[in-house]
Every structure is written in C-alpha cells, then in structure tokens.
Structure 1
Amino acid sequence: MKKPDPVLELATEHVLRAAANDALRPEIESFFDPSTFTVTYVVHDPATREAAIIDSVLDFEPNSGRTATASSDKVVDYIAKHNLKVTWLLETHAHADHFSAAPYLQEKLGGKIAIGAEITTVQDVFGKLFNAGTAFERDGSQFDVLFEDGDTFTIGQIPVVVMHVPGHTPADIAYVVGDAVFTGDTMFMPDYGTARADFPGGNARKLFRSLRRILSLPPETRLFLCHDYLPKGRTTYVWETTVAAEREGNIHAHDGVSEDEFVQMRDARDATLDMPRLILPAVQVNMRAGHMPPPDDNGVTYLKIPINAV
C-alpha cells in the first residue's frame, strides 16, 4: 500500500483553493534569456504587491570573464514599473548553466535568498572538486533561508508550499505558489522531456519519483519551467504547461512509463550528453548563493577549472 504524502496533500489543497479563488492566484511575468535558455519569473500577489523572483540570471561572457546585469536589470525595471516589493529571491537549485543574480537583485530590491536545504550536499561535493578550502562554509550559510520538504511561507497573502524533488541534483525543490508550480529543471515541455540526472549527486530513479510527485497534483495545475530548448518541429520557445499536458504527452515520463523504463532511458541518454558550457564557473558561484569567490591578494576574483579531475 502506497504511503500517504502529507506534503503532496497540502500542495494539492493549496492548488484547489487557488483554482477556486482568484485572490490566491499569483500574477506571473517571465523573462527568457536566450543565451542560457533560462526563464526567470517574477511572481506577485496582486493584493499586497509583494513579489518573489525565481531563478534569476547574471550575464556572463566566458571568453572575457566579464559579468553584466542586462538580464537582471529588466527584472529591476519591471519591479519598479509595477510598484512591487520583493520579499523573496528563490532558487530551485544550484544551476549549472548560468550565474544567479540573487546578490545583485538583493542589493537593488531587498528580499531573502532561499534554496533547498540539500544545498549543503552540493557544497560538500563541489567544495572538494574546486578545492575551495576551509574558508568555504559547507553549511548553506551563504543563503538567508534553507527550505525543507513541506516548508511553507507566503508571497503577500498567497501561500507557498516547498516540495523537495531531487534527481537532477540532490537539492532541487519546486515551489507551489497558489495554483502554479515552479519546477526548476526537473521537467521540460512535453515535447522535450525531462532533466538529466548524471551530475554529482543526481539519480534517475529519484528523478522519476520526483516527476510522479509533481504530476500527482491536480490536472489543471499550471507548471512553469526553468528552461526551454527548441526540439525538432517547434520554432517558438514555450515554458508554461500543465500537469495534464505533461501526464499525457511528456516524451520521457508520460503516464504508463514505468520507473525502470525511465531509468534505463535516462541513463542511456545522459551518457551521450556533454557537460553544460558553463557548469564549472557557474557552480562555483551558485553554491555560494550567487556570490563570487573571495578575491586573491591582487584584488582580482578567479574561478577555477579542474584539469583531468576525477
């Protein structure tokens, strides 16, 4: 007999309440960064104007080692134009494909930087890989808040439930905000499938179970994805779907796909994939909540590239 999942039950209750009450439905604006295929979201409560920013992007040019704020400044401008108050800067996980702009946005707009509590596992693994030394704390203290599975908070008057959805990384979480779920990299649009599970600490079996957990929410639940990549046959980027659409048509995880079938597919597919272009610089920054490593004696900050590391 399947064990009850109280977090899923709570999330389902919130989705159904929001579906029946417009006051509990957030307003959502998306910002797509074509260079990293990343979507940043501003989610706000229309009644109180309180807002959260989810999965922000700091521009980075690896050829020159230069950062810029053009992407995040669009978010700043939107916040100002709509007279919003930022209370949360939320990360779904430590991204491997872009730098987080959370510290920059916090300086400009305020808000608490938050991520899943399992970020400490990521910090331990990558702290060793990058030989970050004892000065690099591996307790998540670079973040203002570490969320556990089932934690709740609010954006204005709109309740939020945190769901731990590991598999892509150990620390992945999804945010259930009213009738909307921000899934991070766990899944993509139905015609593109699901996230890879071969990063350190990733696990295809855990990913399948996380997918089924999200897809056990009501069919009408809105899903907002962290990325979109154009599969063959599609010419327009899309990053919003529903539980029903994913259950019916996700090419990797639609209803009827067994756990073993998924794991076999995911492991075989992941073995053919190159590492993300920015994984080595991005993880060094994002495991620090978007802060750069401390500068060297000459005042310049450096990012490390391990050579032939195991």
Structure 2
Amino acid sequence: MSGTHEPIVHAIYDLSTGTWQYIVADPDTRRAAIIDPVLDFDNTTSRIATGSADALLQKVALEGYEVDLLLETHLHADHISAAFYLREALRQRQSYAPQCCIGSGIEKMQRVFGDRYGVDEDEWFHAFDRTWADGDSFQIGGLQVTVLHLPGHTPDHIGYQIGSNVFCGDSIFNPDLGSARCDFPSGSAVALWNSMQRLLSLPPDYKLYTGHDYPPAGRLSEEGESKPQPYATVQEHKSSNKHVKMGVLEAEFVELRTTRDGSLREPKLMHEALQFNIRAGRMPKQTADGERFVRLPLRLPESLTAV
C-alpha cells in the first residue's frame, strides 16, 4: 500500500533535555513510528530511568498503534536514546520487534566515538537494524516517507518527510531560536546553511518539526508559562527565523554560527550520551562484578599533566 495522505502526529516534550519526541501514525492502518525517543538520565547519580519512554508506550497502547520503526534523526549528544529499550519492550507486546533506524553516515561517527571512548567495535557495529541515505523511501502503513540528508549539526543527520511534514531533528530550530550548533566532529556551518536552505525550499505551508525547543522568555502560553512548540511552517521560518530568514546571507550566517559555537559549553550529557547512542541506546557491557561503566574525560591543570 502506498499513499501521500497526512499522518497523525503526537508531539511529546521531554522537559529535562528540551527534546521533542514524536509518534507518527497512519490513520488508516494504525501503523506507527517513534522518532527520537529519550531515556531519563540523572548525571549527578548516574541513574537511568524509563519514565519518558514508558509514557510513549502508554500512548501507543492507548491509541491502538503497532510500531514498526524507531527512527533517529542523528547521533544525539544531549540525551540518551530510548530506541533499544523501546524495541525490546515492544517486542514483548507485538509479534515482532520494530527496527531501529538512523542515517547511513552513522558508522563513521560510531568509529570516531568508539575509538575516543574505548568502546569495543562489537558493541556498536550493526547496532542499528537499518540505515537510510538521501532519497531513500519507505512506508509507515500507507504513509510514504522520504529521507532527506541534512548535514551540518552532525554529518550523519537526516530528516523524514511524511506528507507535508518534515521531522528534521536539529537541522533547524524554531524561528525565535534559529539554528543548532555545528562544532561537533565533522560538523559544518556551511553544510547546515545548505541543509536549512533545502528545508526552506519546500512549500510554504509545510511543517518543520524540530528536535529540540528551549522556549525564550518572551514565548508564553495563555497561562503565562514558557511554551515549547514542536514545529513552525516553512513560511514562518522564511519570515522570522532569526538566523536564516529571507535576506540573511550565507556568509553572515556562517560567521554568526561559528562565533556563537566558540562560546558554548559542551552539552552536560555529551560523554554519556555518545557512548550509549553509538550503541543505539544499548547499555554498556557488564563487568565481571555485574556493573556497567562509561568513560568521562578529565580536565587537568597544567601542574598535573605530567603526573
């Protein structure tokens, strides 16, 4: 079955990481995919919990969906993916396990960070069931999905176009935030500019669903609270995106993005997240004592570097 009709979209916001998670479903067949799911992680105690992921499972059950795919937009450095946890939980509920999927550039990133953190290749090689390249297409029930390669924030970054909706991860932020950082390995402000221009070339009514939102003080709900929003239209971005609206030149954007990236701290969960996410959210191997570890780099003063 194939089709171009519109999906049902459930946008679920994870407050602790500012992440948008999406359940996307075909209204006719009730087949679904989950995009960019989050595991809860407290880096002060190193405790992992599944509350956010379990809420996704509850929503899936409530709506009567069968989940075929767990879709990542890129290798996240700011939260731990719940993809593997959800795959195993859904395996128990359904007669099959959904596939964990990501962009085809992931193997290069897995090797870079596997080497950096000393993660054995057998823990990350083939961690994902499928990888997608630019222009690939697949189905969620009767929904046609087209893959868009959107590098810049990370080189492996992809988006998923479904009808008039694009789930574009960190390749563009809401208009009052602008864009995501590009200072990770093989990130590129020029590549991000080109990816955003690709998105802005879509029809003006298309919705661009972002991967994160950090509502600024001026964006308030009717109750006076900061209000995260999952998407803005192409036209809204062209009119008011603070980094790439009409009239902004590539050189201006590249200078702005590069300067800003030079002033940013690394994400607080970066080292933990990367070690989990190259494994598609799997836990590190147990030691002989039954414990699991991740590695964290030390920042040494010059007086200790020779010790």
The answer, yes or no, to whether TM exceeds 0.5 is yes
1: CA distance, partners of 2:285 / 2:247:
49
Match of 2:158 among 173, 179, 189: 173
Match of 2:174 among 189, 194, 206: 189
CA contact (8 A) 1:122 1:201 kept: no
1:123 aligns with 2:110: yes
2: CA distance, partners of 1:150 / 1:203:
21
What is the match of residue 21 of structure 1? none
What is the match of residue 7 of structure 1? none
Count of aligned pairs: 287
What is the match of residue 98 of structure 2? 111
1:239 aligns with 2:227: no
1: CA distance, partners of 2:85 / 2:119:
23
Match of 2:57 among 76, 80, 89: 76
SS in 2 for 1:220: coil
1: CA distance, partners of 2:185 / 2:299:
16
2: CA distance, partners of 1:199 / 1:87:
31
1: CA distance, partners of 2:189 / 2:78:
20
CA contact (8 A) 1:121 1:170 kept: no
What is the match of residue 183 of structure 2? 198
2: CA distance, partners of 1:64 / 1:37:
20
2: CA distance, partners of 1:250 / 1:218:
16
1:102 aligns with 2:83: yes
Q: Which amino acid aligns with 1:249?
A: S
CA contact (8 A) 1:197 1:270 kept: yes
1:156 aligns with 2:141: yes
TM-score, scaled to structure 1? 0.90
CA RMSD of aligned residues (A): 1.5
Q: Which amino acid aligns with 2:58?
A: D
SS in 2 for 1:185: helix
Percent identical across equivalent pairs?
44
Q: Deviations over 1:12-56 (max 9, x none)?
A: xx9xx84xxxxx100000111100001110000000000000000
Deviates more, 1:85-94 or 1:235-244: 235-244
Displacement of 1:135 in angstroms is 3.8
Q: Deviations over 1:127-161 (max 9, x none)?
A: 12112245445x5x100001011100011101000
1: CA distance, partners of 2:153 / 2:29:
34
SS in 2 for 1:189: coil
1: CA distance, partners of 2:274 / 2:59:
28
Displacement of 1:307 in angstroms is 2.2
1:45-84 mapped onto 2 (5 Å cutoff): 45-84=26-65
1:143 aligns with 2:128: yes
Q: Which amino acid aligns with 1:119?
A: I
CA contact (8 A) 1:167 1:197 kept: yes
Q: Deviations over 1:90-116 (max 9, x none)?
A: 000111111111111111223110000
2: CA distance, partners of 1:120 / 1:308:
28
Segments of structure 2 that go 5 or more residues without pairing to the other structure are 91-96, 220-225, 301-307
SS in 2 for 1:209: helix
Deviates more, 1:111-120 or 1:230-239: 230-239
CA contact (8 A) 1:54 1:91 kept: yes
Q: Deviations over 1:53-95 (max 9, x none)?
A: 0000011111111111110111101111111000010000111
1:268 aligns with 2:249: no
CA contact (8 A) 2:100 2:129 kept: yes
Q: Which amino acid aligns with 2:147?
A: V
Q: Which amino acid aligns with 1:269?
A: R
2: CA distance, partners of 1:283 / 1:38:
16
